[in-house]
Amino acid sequence: MSEKTFEEGAYIHVVFKQKALPLTGYELEETLRAYDGTIKQVLMHFPDGCNALVDVAVCLEQERLIPRGEDEYVALDGSTPIFPSDYPIKAGQRIRVYINNHDETYPHTITVIISIKTERR
């Protein structure tokens, strides 16, 4: 992510996209460098064929945001849920996305888009 200056109230979208190979887990990370703000929504896309075999969780630093339970994950099929949120975030904090593909046969490409409303620093 490049260092940019944003006007207060502008929306920034942090995109995570991962082709998850069979029986493989991933930890994706993005450090927010140039702005403070509020996470306003988290979108997750599960393509057809996932059959709830791919699970996803989103964390801010060590705190689980979506879903809230520490050992819980979202796992769907052919669905694009949007989770409204209102989590404050500061420059320098890390967003982590965990993706685990439990499918023994097929890879699945998962997309997570985090929308952040910027604030003055």
User: Looking at the predicted structure, is the pLDDT value of residue 55 above 80?
Assistant: yes
97 falls within a domain? yes
66 falls within a domain? yes
1 falls within a domain? no
7 falls within a domain? no
> Domain range spanning residue 58?
16-109
Which residue did the predictor score with more confidence, 8 or 55? 55
Strand order from edge to edge, sheet including 108-119 = 11-20, 108-119, 36-45, 82-89
83 falls within a domain? yes
69 falls within a domain? yes
The answer to whether 116 and 9 are in contact (CB under 8 A) is no
87 falls within a domain? yes
pLDDT tens sequence across 8-25: 789 999 999 999 999 999
Name the domain count of the chain: 1
Cα 51 to Cα 1, 55, 61, 89, 96: the distances in Å are 32, 10, 29, 33, 23
Strand order from edge to edge, sheet including 63-66 = 24-31, 94-101, 54-60, 63-66
The answer to whether 59 and 65 are in contact (CB under 8 A) is yes
11 falls within a domain? no
pTM (global) more than 0.95:
no
* Mean pLDDT, rounded, for 73-78: 98
Instruction: Tell me the pairing of strands 54-60 and 94-101.
Output: antiparallel
Count the neighbouring beta carbons within 10 Å of the beta carbon of residue 48: 9
Average model confidence (pLDDT) for the chain? Answer: 92
* Mean pLDDT, rounded, for 54-76: 94
